[in-house]
Chain A
Amino acid sequence: MEAFGVVLAAALAVGLPALATAWAQSRIGPAIAASMAEKPELGTTAILMIAIPETMVILGFVVSVLILFRGAA
């Protein structure tokens, strides 16, 4: 049961930020695409804007790994 809890926590740690990232990118993507249609020079900004929310899921992944390792120990 405890192992299940650890796995669930790890899954939530990466899953919830992944959903949040997906939601954020779903808003940023169309907005930046519309901006680029008018100003193509915003390409670099587009890369940054799309990559910024991914920090959440990456840190979530790190936390998830730490939870799994702690659970295994």
Chain B
Amino acid sequence: MIIEMVRLRILGPRDRLGDVFDALQDLGVMHLAEPAAPASGVSPVELTTAQRREQRQLRRARDHVERALAGLGVRAGPAARAARAAPRATRSDFARWARLGWRVRRATERLATRETTLQDERALILKYQQFFGAFRALLESQSRWPSATAYHVLLRGGETEALIRLRGSLRELIGDAFELYSQPLPSGEIALLIVVAAPAAPQVERILAQARVQEIPVPASYGGGALTEAIPRMLARLSDLPAEVAALRRERARLGQDHGAELRRARAGLADRLAELEALPLSAVTARAFVIEGWAPARSRSLVEERLAAGFGDAVVVTEVGKEDWASADAPVVLSNPRLLRPFELLIRLLPLPRYGTIDPTPFVAVFFPAFFGLMVGDIGYGLLLGVLALVLRRRSKPGSTLRSAAEIAGACAVFTVLAGALFGELFGDLGRHWLGLRPIAFNREEALIPFLILAVSLGAVHVVLGLALGVAANIRHHPRHALGRGMSLAMIVAIISALLAAVHVLPDALLTPAVIVLLVAFPVLIAAEGVVAPIELLSTVGNVLSYARIMALGVASVMLAVVANRMVGAIGSVAVGVVFALLFHLVNFAIALFSPTIHALRLHYVEFFGKFYSPGGVRYQPFGHWTREATR
């Protein structure tokens, strides 16, 4: 559900405005808003020039601190929470934090640049090492060619044509006065050693430049010249590099140890002061008084009143703004559901939040999403595997994290998958039937395609009708005409289904005539309420119901793949090979079963179900409070 909010107005003497903001920040429950329609003589607070300058400086300081923390790899931890209890930061704290942030940021950037340079140097030496390994014998005999110049070239793997072209160009230009050796390297590249007579060197260099091949001359830092002389120096350097990288990492760790905690405090302190400066223009003042307005959960109203009364006595007054004076679309939204349903809020948060005063679909998603998933996968074996996966993920995730919610949703899906598996008598396809004598309680999905189709479409009808009913409930107060249209659509869908069932003798024949009468009455009312596009929307609603046939389609595909996997054991000559193939196939089917049903169950909710009642565009509840990691998201 969407929790009830109240709009509060706080009035007090102007000289206490800063203290009241501090108290509200400590409370952390008010979502501040501009005062509605300020009276004459009341004007919004504008930041002074000094405050604007302070804001700019603090933003720069926060940027330095954030980058320094990122460079140190420090995560938000207990220090962020400890900052709540800490005394408020002073100007000297901000100045100190700005200097510290800048200094540590510079240091971490310097360390990162140095480490990148060392890693690049290591990669370069390894490349030379490979090159040297490929032509060791030739390079060592280089001293026998005193009047020759050697070029070391690397070609990307597969560039054999470039090699042929290069050889052709060299022959054309300098005849046979060159030797070209090529050798594939373990990295996939092709190493080329070109030895030419010294007088032809300028021409060869021009050809290499035109061919845009990667020449790797011996760097000057290793003495340049012959590779045979440079290689020992390079190898010595290679053995030194890990120690240098380790030293850099130690230095970074030491910086983290020395300044990490203080930087975390700085991040929280700077964010708090910036939040206060950003909140100030949301208040309004007269010559002597101030007014602050904002939203708070209804259950927190007394807390705000008590805390302000305790801090300021009668000087500060808290009143509630009447509901007739604010638009529900402006109120922030907080979803609040029982513990069991809460993980499914994740699936709602993937969309824009529902508007305040509309319906939170979480409880419905919590029932139908795992049910649809279960019916699509419908296998005890896959359900148990998914359950194990969900348990592992839950154990490895932090409470309240997205991963934890996903793990708990997966757990619910696993339960429904096992239940549906029992219903269809499936354990890794037909393996349970053959080995354990498992029998379907409802029907066998391999054969009973039509009953499965009827089940899927019936579920779709229930889901869509529920969506239309929620649409009526959501609109009845503010948009009665729209609610009437939704109600007529609902009546017509029920009438169409009843008429069809009566026509095929599933329902009593006597229902056919009343159903047709309902259709004839509801149709003109629907057009009157929703306009001429209403019949098209009605058709699309019928299409929505049929869209649930995907539950059957994916379910059948899933069981058929599992059956094919089991048949591999007998189909391939060796039993052992067959078992391996069967296991691999089951693994692939399980992976498909994780993704495809999730996407289709989501789609059935977002398109077919939510389309009937969901009103997106809710404002996220962002209480004015102290810095937390969540507040930065």
A51-B600, A69-B450 known; A44-B606 Cβ under 8 A: yes
CB of A47 within 8 Å of the partner chain = yes
Cβ < 8 Å to A, chain B residues 198-232: none
Partner of A47, one of B450, B547, B552, B599: B599
User: Distance (Å) between the CB of A36 and the closest chain B CB?
Assistant: 14
Contact with A along B546-560 (1 / 0, CB 8 A): 110110111010000
Using CB atoms, name the residue of chain B closest to A69: B450
User: A51 contacts B553, CB within 8 Å?
Assistant: no
Chain B residues with CB under 8 Å of A55's CB are 547, 550
Contact B350 A44 (CB under 8 A): yes
Is B450 within 8 A of A62, CB to CB?
A: no
Beta-carbon contacts under 8 Å, A30-55 to B: 43-44, 47-48, 50-52, 54-55
Query: Smallest Cβ distance from B233 to chain A, in angstroms?
Result: 45
Which of B350, B546, B553, B607 has most A Cβ within 10 Å?
B553
Task: Give CA–CA (A65, B581) in the complex, Å.
Answer: 29
Cα separation A45 to B3 with both chains bound (whole Å): 27
Question: A43 with B350: in contact, given A51-B599, A51-B600 (CB under 8 Å)?
Answer: yes
Known: A62-B453, A65-B453, A69-B449. A48 touches B603 (CB 8 A): yes
Q: Which of B128-175 contact A (CB under 8 A)?
A: none
Q: Name, among A47, A55, A58, A69, the residue most crowded by chain B CB atoms within 10 Å (CB to CB).
A: A58
* Total chain A interface residues with beta-carbon distance under 8 A: 15
In whole angstroms, what is the CA distance A46 to B218 when docked?
50
Asked if B549 and A59 make an inter-chain contact with CB atoms under 8 angstroms apart, the answer reads: yes
Q: B553 touching A61 by the CB < 8 A rule?
A: yes
Say if the beta carbon of B351 comes within 8 Å of chain A: yes
B606: chain A residues within 8 A (beta carbon): 44, 48
- Known contacts A44-B606, A48-B603; is A59 also within 8 Å of B546 by CB? yes
In Å, the complex CA distance between A55 and B554 comes to: 11
Contacts of A54 in B (CB 8 A): 550, 600
User: B599 to A50, Cβ gap below 8 A?
Assistant: yes
CB closest chain-A residue, reference B598: A47
Provide the residues of chain B in CB contact with A50, threshold 8 Å. 599
A14 to chain B, nearest CB (A): 10
Residue B602 interfacial (CB < 8 Å): yes
- Provide the residues of chain A in CB contact with B351, threshold 8 Å: 44
Interface residues of A in 4-41 (CB under 8 A from B): none
Q: Is the CB of B449 within 8 A of A51?
A: no
Q: Shortest beta-carbon distance, B383 to chain A, in Å?
A: 23
Q: Check if B603 sits within 8 Å of A52, measured CB to CB.
A: yes
Closest to B604 in A: A51
Which of A43, A44, A65 meets B449, CB within 8 Å? A65
Are A52 and B607 within 8 A (Cβ)?
yes
How distant is B6 from chain A, measured CB to nearest CB, in Å? 30
Question: Which residues of B have CB within 8 Å of A51?
Answer: 599-600, 602-603
- Chain B residue with Cβ nearest A62: B549
Give 9 A-B contacts (CB < 8 Å), ordered by A residue: A44-B350, A48-B607, A51-B599, A51-B600, A51-B603, A58-B547, A58-B549, A62-B453, A62-B549
Which B residues are closer than 8 A to A by beta carbons? 350-351, 449-450, 453, 546-547, 549-550, 552-554, 556, 599-600, 602-603, 606-607
Besides A52-B603, A59-B549, A62-B453, 18 other CB < 8 A contacts? A44-B350, A47-B599, A47-B603, A48-B606, A48-B607, A50-B599, A51-B599, A51-B600, A54-B600, A55-B550, A58-B549, A58-B550, A58-B553, A59-B546, A59-B547, A62-B553, A65-B556, A69-B449
Q: Which 4 A-B pairs have the closest CB atoms?
A: A51-B603, A44-B350, A58-B550, A58-B553
